[in-house]
């Protein structure tokens, strides 16, 4: 099922093999994965590399750990992959991040902290914050209409930054900004991620609109859940670029 890694002693290489096994049906929901020592032997890497890969998959909601029992494939709904042009982009980017100290960890950290920041912001946002987010969302809509994907990407990043700022907590905002700077999403080629006829950009736009609606209702629970859903859906789309 899994192949020993040659010169690629990286967590992303392990993540990729496990994700592909889940997608092609080799691993099914509730299947138990080998334990860390066994995976270390199978992949021919250190236990710390295996542990980092497994932690990443847990963060993404792909697998779950049950103390004293084992690690299992998590029940999850994988969104449509229609219109996503090049599978290699996500993995290339993830592997590049592994070369930069802290970048890979920052990518996974975003999945942990942004939903919490969103929940916190939903409790504290003021009218001026909603006005700013509505304005940025309008820019995203216009960018989609104009098929200007670079402007969409810029507005998308600004939406998330303004949302973090609206939490009213300067420490949270600073942490989130540092995480996003380490990830380096602004370096991604928007036209390769989202082709002009892609459904993924429409999914992304709808996610932001739904999230904004929950925020305006001051609903911290649904705002947090929507952010988690958005981040995981985005991960699967970028990962499946082919």
pLDDT in tens, 140-182: 999 989 988 888 888 999 999 999 999 999 999 999 998 888 7
Q: What confidence score (pLDDT) does residue 233 get?
A: 73
Distance CA 177, CA 136 (A): 18
Q: Which range has the worst mean pLDDT, 4-13, 22-31, 190-199?
A: 190-199
- At residue 77, does pLDDT exceed 50? no
- 23 and 92 assigned to the same domain: no
Q: State the residue range of the domain holding 145.
A: 88-239
Number of domains present in the structure of the chain: 2
Q: How confident is the model at residue 231 (pLDDT cuts 50, 70, 90)?
A: confident
Q: What confidence score (pLDDT) does residue 72 get?
A: 93
Section 203-231 average pLDDT: 94
Q: What confidence score (pLDDT) does residue 15 get?
A: 84
Q: How confident is the model at residue 183 (pLDDT cuts 50, 70, 90)?
A: confident
Is position 80 within any domain? no
- 26 and 54 assigned to the same domain: yes
Is position 4 within any domain? no
Task: State the average pLDDT for the chain.
Answer: 80
């Amino acid at each position: 099922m899994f192949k020993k890694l040659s010169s690629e002693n990286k967590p992303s290489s392990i993540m990729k093999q496990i994700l592909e096994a889940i997608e092609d049906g080799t691993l099914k929901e509730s299947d138990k994965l080998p334990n860390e020592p066994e995976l270390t032997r199978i992949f021919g890497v250190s236990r710390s590399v295996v542990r980092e890969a497994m932690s990443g998959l847990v963060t993404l909601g792909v697998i779950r750990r049950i103390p004293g029992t084992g690690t299992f494939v998590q029940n999850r709904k994988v969104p449509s992959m229609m219109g996503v042009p090049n599978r290699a982009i996500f993995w290339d980017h993830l592997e590049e991040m592994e070369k930069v100290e802290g970048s890979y960890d920052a990518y996974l950290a975003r999945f942990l902290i942004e939903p919490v920041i969103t929940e916190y912001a939903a409790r504290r946002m003021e009218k001026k914050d909603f006005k700013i987010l509505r304005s940025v969302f309008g820019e995203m809509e216009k960018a989609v209409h104009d098929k200007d994907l670079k402007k969409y990407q810029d507005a998308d990043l600004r939406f998330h930054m303004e949302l973090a700022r609206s939490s009213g907590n300067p420490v949270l905002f600073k942490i989130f900004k540092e995480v996003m700077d380490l990830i380096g999403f602004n370096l991604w080629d928007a036209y390769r991620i989202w082709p002009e006829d892609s459904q993924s950009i429409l999914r992304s736009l709808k996610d932001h609109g739904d999230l904004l609606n929950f925020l305006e209702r001051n609903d911290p629970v649904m705002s947090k859940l929507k952010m988690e859903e958005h981040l995981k859906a985005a991960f699967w789309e970028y990962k499946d670029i082919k």
